[in-house]
Amino acid sequence: MSGEEKIAGHIRKVLSSLSGMINAKLTRRQFLSGCVKAGVLCGSSMWALEGFFRYKAYAAIGEKRGMREAMYYEKMGDEAVKCLLCPNNCVLSNGQRGFCRVREPLGGKLYTLVYELACAVHVDPIEKKPFYHFLPGSKSFSIATAGCNSRCKFCQNWTISQSSPEEVASRRLTCDQVVEGAIGNGCSAIAYTYSEPTVFYEYMLDTAKRARKRGVRNIVVTGGKISPDPLKELCGSVEAVNIDLKGMDPTYLSDVCAQDLDDILKTILIYKREGVWVELTNLIVPTMNDNMEDIKRMASWVVENAGPDVPMHFSRFWPQYKLRSLYPTPVETLLEAREVAIKAGLHYVYVGNVPGSGSESTSCPSCSKTVIKRIGYRVTENNVRPDGTCSFCSGRIAGVWV
């Protein structure tokens, strides 16, 4: 018997009970008592009635509301599924939403509810993502959907990342339309950003494949919480990633971000092994992850495991979401973190969200001259040759330049 047939059987029981009570000319108290008994005896049936109509409605308008069968899940009996997209590994029954708020099983299958359903669409400087060593001075066509598989208490985009699809204004934007939008706006790349691209994995992957065929690059801005198998498949269609390495303290990551440190570090290593250009961002939150010993440990891990040429961006915290009682990160803290990371062996370390700090430009590791000068998100001077060498000394500058 199919899942839909089981739901229909439950519904018939509920309707039969209600019909019998209506025809029996019961008093109001007797009728209400009968409804309670029906609910106790057939509690799952009342839930099934709602689920049945939701199922039918989704089937009828699913394409319009962003519904498509998800990738990376396994069935757990007739009605339950286990999502395998990220380390949350949510086990869900019909009608339940995943931790990300945008994946839901119906009729024994798991569906994404945000396929081709964009809630944010912008043209941004690529430096805003931030990417400083990937096509500097170019533009990115940036998209996002609702949802996230983390719970960062400082999230600056919490109005969309911590919302379900029904709670944000979205519009249908097909994969082909995203690619055309990028080309039409003179963008070198499509950026999957703002919320968490992992939760709109199918939308991102299908768009990236189409973009590559048209000569448009793909860049991912992510918290890094994704399972190895879907990540490896994604790596075949994207050229660059900026991963938020939010800290090296497991307790901080768990309590403030709902993340596991080992999961994020594993993601960084997979991206590197698969040949995707990697940049890292660390948002320094005052009193929470601003310990310089942890910063040193982070930088040392990157040098030893991902290499000294991985750019590191230390970003300034501004009071947002659930941490509005805190104060902005002192500029002195950011500059100290930068010095600690450089001493640990990283070649390219930047300070973000502090225009004019003097820490936005790129220096050549060989001759120390400024090869890329930036003011905010604007590149004012570029002395890196197309082959990735310094115009002054011919030393190598790591990155993707053409």
**pLDDT at 13 (0 to 100):** 53
Confidence band, pLDDT 50/70/90 cuts, at residue 115: very high
Q: Which residue would you say has higher pLDDT here, 34 or 392?
A: 392
Tell me the two tokens of residue 22.
Answer: 């209506």
Helices (H) and strands (E) in the chain — how many of each? Answer: 11, 19
Average pLDDT over residues 170-181: 97
**Statement: residue 95 has pLDDT above 50:** yes
Cβ–Cβ < 8 Å for 305, 295? no
Task: Give the strands of the sheet with 91-92, arranged side by side.
Answer: 73-76, 80-83, 91-92
Q: Name which of 10-19, 149-158, 230-239, 346-355 the model is least confident about.
A: 10-19
Q: Of all residues in the chain, what percent carry a pLDDT higher than 70?
A: 84
CA-CA-CA-CA dihedral for 193, 206, 185, 137, to nearest 10: 50
Note if the bond before 130 is cis, omega within 30 degrees. Answer: yes
| Residue whose entry in the numeric block shows the structure tokens 């050549």 | 364
Tokens of 35: 């409804």
Model pLDDT, residue 116: 98
Domain ranges of the chain: 1-61, 118-360
40 or 67, greater pLDDT: 67
At 197, is the pLDDT very low, low, confident or very high (cuts 50, 70, 90)? very high
Q: How confident is the model at residue 56 (pLDDT cuts 50, 70, 90)?
A: very low
Residue 293 has pLDDT above 50, yes or no: yes
Please tell me the pTM assigned to this model: 0.85
pLDDT tens column, 246-274: 999 999 999 999 999 999 999 999 999 99
152 — phi, psi (to 5°)? -65, 120
Which of helix, strand or coil describes residue 399?
coil
Quickly state the pLDDT bin for 78 (edges 50, 70, 90). confident
pLDDT of residue 61: 38
Q: What is the largest CA-CA distance in the chain?
A: 96
> Once rounded to an integer, what is the mean pLDDT over residues 65-89?
94
Confidence at residue 216, expressed as pLDDT on a 0 to 100 scale: 98
The residues with which 379 forms a beta bridge, in sequence order, are 374
CB contact at 8 A, 279 and 131: yes
Q: Is residue 174 classed exposed, middle or buried when 0-12, 13-18 and 19+ CB atoms within 10 A define those classes? A: middle
C-alpha 328/C-alpha 7 separation (Å) is: 53
Smallest Cα–Cα separation from 145: which of 103, 181, 180? 103
CB atoms closer than 10 angstroms to residue 159: 15
pLDDT band at 17 (very low <50, low <70, confident <90, very high): low
**Which of residues 10 and 167 earns the better pLDDT score?**
167
d(CA 199, CA 144): 10
Over range 209-227, report the average pLDDT.
Answer: 98
| Mean of all residue pLDDT scores within the chain | 89
Question: pLDDT tens digit string along 350-386?
Answer: 998 887 777 999 999 999 999 999 998 999 999 999 9
Residue 30: pLDDT band with limits 50, 70, 90 = low
Q: Give the whole-angstrom CA distance, residue 285 versus residue 303.
A: 23
Closest by CA position to 308, among listed 341, 274, 261, 264 = 341
Structure tokens at 336: 């100290």
At 77 the pLDDT is 84
Alpha carbon 145 to its chain centroid, in Å, reads: 9
pLDDT at residue 66 in the model: 84
Q: DSSP label at 88?
A: T
CATH superfamily of 118-360: Aldolase class I (3.20.20.70)
How far from each other are the two terminal CA atoms of the chain, in whole angstroms? Answer: 57
